[in-house]
Amino acid sequence: MEDISRYYALLKDPTRRKIIEILGSQEKIGFKELRETLGVGVGTIYYHLDMLSDFIEQDKQRKYRLNTKGQMLYRVLKDGSVPAGLEISETLSHRAVRWLFLSPMFALTAKPYRFLPVSAAILVLGAFGSSVAGLESALLFFFEGSMRSPASTAVLFIFNWVGLFLFAEALAIALFRRVGNDLQLFACIGLAALPLAVYPYIYLAAPTILEALAIYSWQLVKTVRDAVLVVLQVWTILLVSAAVCHGKGLRLDKGIIISLTATYLNIAILFMLGKLA
């Protein structure tokens, strides 16, 4: 049998191990029963099932069961011969990656009604900051010297992220046939907006901070603002990928396809509008 340590990342997650154990003991189970047994959100279950796609299959009644490879894995888990490395606590690097993708926060969206106020608060935070700073948002980008009213600037920030939610929803259906779970996806997209929601406040604070450090110059302020924005843009793209994964139950590689498509479309539209040189 293949070395089980190759599946370290896969088996490290207790939910995935639980799915293997359930399917191994019950032979096959429907999606609704699996969800009730695990007690997690629809998107979360789809995500883990997608991660376990090499080990499970569906019968004609669309019930899940272990394939030959999955049955071998179940026997290893049942016999207790899982390497000790799978039982140890997370490494520092693993924890860092989890927080980079805000995985603990995205896990809370499994109950979207409870998390929606948080997502809404993030969007309001970004909208208010954009209006105060006078920054016109264009999803991943901000432009100074907006001629819009503060109210219009605020609404535009929210409009951009609602548009991204609709785009991600449509692309998930078109490319991967993932229908439903819209509320969790919206909650996840709201969380993904966090880096850019705080940027207007960094934009406003940069001159004051640099002046306090006695290194103030207009060119340095611009450089710092641009550098911070690039870092936050990259982080946002990663978070949008994670949002699609958790909201629509897709693997990260599929989530990245959607987030990068949205990014390229965002840049292309701004080029056509003459916003980017």
pTM (predicted TM-score): 0.79
pLDDT at residue number 87: 46
pLDDT at residue number 201: 98
The domain of 75 spans: 4-88
Q: Given CA atoms 158, 136, 274, 236 in this order, what sign does their dihedral have?
A: negative
pLDDT at residue number 276: 86
**Long-range contacts from 158-162, C-beta under 8 angstroms, 24+ separation:** 158/123, 158/124, 158/126, 158/127, 161/123, 161/126, 161/189, 161/190, 161/193
Q: Evaluate whether 97 touches 237 at the Cβ level (below 8 Å).
A: no
d(CA 53, CA 225): 43
In a domain, 31, yes or no: yes
On whether both 83 and 103 belong to a single domain, the answer is no
Residue 276: CB atoms within 10 A of its CB come to 14
In a domain, 277, yes or no: no
pLDDT at residue number 7: 61
Task: Choose the final residue of a domain: 47, 65, 88.
Answer: 88
Task: Choose the final residue of a domain: 31, 64, 88.
Answer: 88
Q: Which residues pair with 65 in a beta bridge?
A: 28, 57
On whether both 84 and 103 belong to a single domain, the answer is no
On whether both 32 and 103 belong to a single domain, the answer is no
pLDDT at residue number 1: 43
- Residues with pLDDT less than 70, the chain: 1-10, 80-95, 277
On whether both 37 and 166 belong to a single domain, the answer is no
pLDDT at residue number 118: 96
Q: What SS3 string covers the chain?
A: CCCHHHHHHHHHCHHHHHHHHHHHHHCEECHHHHHHHHCCCHHHHHHHHHHCCCCEEECCCCCEEECHHHHHHHHHHHCCCCCHHHCCCCCHHHHHHHHHCCHHHHHHHHCHHHHHHHHHHHHHHHHHHHHHHCCEEECCEEECCCCCCHHHHHHHHHHHHHHHHHHHHHHHHHHHCCCCCHHHHHHHHHHHCHHHHHHHHHHHHHHHHHHHCCCCCHHHHHHHHHHHHHHHHHHHHHHHHHHHHHHHCCCHHHHHHHHHHHHHHHHHHHHHCCCCC
On whether both 112 and 81 belong to a single domain, the answer is no
On whether both 106 and 152 belong to a single domain, the answer is yes
> In this predicted model, what pLDDT tens digit does every residue of 184-201 receive, in sequence order?
999 999 999 999 999 999
pLDDT at residue number 239: 95
Task: Choose the final residue of a domain: 53, 70, 88.
Answer: 88
On whether both 236 and 122 belong to a single domain, the answer is yes
pLDDT at residue number 95: 66
On whether both 129 and 192 belong to a single domain, the answer is yes
> In this predicted model, what pLDDT tens digit does every residue of 170-183 receive, in sequence order?
999 999 988 888 99
In a domain, 182, yes or no: yes
In a domain, 244, yes or no: yes
